Amino acid sequence: MEWFDKRLAEANLLRQQYAQVRESAETVFEDLWTAVKAIVVDAAKTKVFASIATNGNSSVRVVKMRVESSSWLGPEDKELTIRLSDDKRNIEASGSAGRVKVILSLGVCPDGVVCLKYEGKELRPSEAAIKVMDPFLFPEFYTGSENP
């Protein structure tokens, strides 16, 4: 029964980590949003992104901007929605027409603190904000790929 005891201990640790993630998820989401807003403030200082703004509520955050379109229809509005999943294990960023889709997971990192991860790699909130905002602001670098 050695394997059973080991597996039981692993299951207990996993449950503790899930509880820790749930407790910290909103704070981590808020830290990411603060980093996103800093990028928005910097972008708004430029002529290209002068129309960028934030909106939303505590569970769904939104970044909007008006961009020139190459079509005859004229300018179009772009929107990036950032939301904390209901189970509080992920933060998903999705953009207009499916152009941006980034999923950040929340997990307990080696130092015992809940952190953001992208494809298993730990990210600081400022790094995660860049991961989310770069394809929204500069989609020309992501043509043909869904995730950055």
pTM reported for the whole predicted model: 0.86
Q: Which residue has the higher pLDDT, 21 or 75?
A: 21
* 102 φ/ψ angles, rounded to the nearest 5 degrees: -125, 130
Smallest CA-to-CA distance from 137 within 108, 95, 106 is with 95
Mean pLDDT for the chain?
89
* pLDDT tens column, 51-99: 999 998 888 999 999 877 666 666 788 899 999 999 999 999 998 766 6
